[in-house]
């Protein structure tokens, strides 16, 4: 798994892009990266378009991060292009909890609209 971080301090937004499998063996890297980025911004987007598989540990890290973002008064969105990853969120009803879109620009717009 590889992770890249892009942030725009003027917008109070960071984008964490994840590539590969998010599972028990790789989730610590994601947890660490999100833990470092989340306190520095108001809103956070996790771009999962490069993720081929996510298990319950990966979902758990995302939910934990969402809780931290909300406690800080922010919003968190997920960019998901693969139907099977989106299906995991639908089955767990997390697609109703996260701001979700299939393109980064869509998620940025939805976060901005949620703040109005």
DSSP state of 46: E
pLDDT at 4 over 80: no
pTM of the predicted structure, to 2 decimals? 0.92
Of 106, 97, 52, the closest CA to residue 76 belongs to 97
Give the model's pLDDT for residue 89.
Answer: 95
Contact status, residue 81 vs residue 49, Cβ threshold 8 Å: yes
Q: Is 80 helix (H, G, I), strand (E, B) or coil?
A: coil
Percent of the chain with pLDDT over 70: 92
Q: Which residue has the higher pLDDT, 11 or 71?
A: 71
Q: Which residue has the higher pLDDT, 86 or 3?
A: 86
Provide the residue ranges of all domains of the chain, joining segments of one domain with +: 2-114
pLDDT at 43 over 70: yes
Fold of 2-114: Transcription Regulator spoIIAA (3.30.750)
């Amino acid at each position: 798994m590889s992770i890249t971080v892009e942030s725009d301090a003027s917008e109070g937004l960071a984008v964490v892009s994840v590539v590969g499998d998010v599972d028990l063996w790789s989730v610590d890297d994601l947890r660490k990266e999100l833990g470092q980025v989340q306190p520095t911004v108001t809103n956070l987007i996790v771009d999962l378009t490069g993720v081929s598989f996510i298990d319950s540990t990966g979902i758990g890290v995302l939910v934990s991060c969402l809780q931290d973002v909300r406690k800080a008064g922010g919003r968190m969105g997920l960019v998901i292009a693969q139907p099977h990853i989106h299906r995991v969120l639908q089955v767990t009803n997390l697609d109703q909890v996260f701001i979700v879109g299939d393109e980064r620009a869509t998620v940025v717009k939805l976060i901005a609209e949620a703040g109005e």
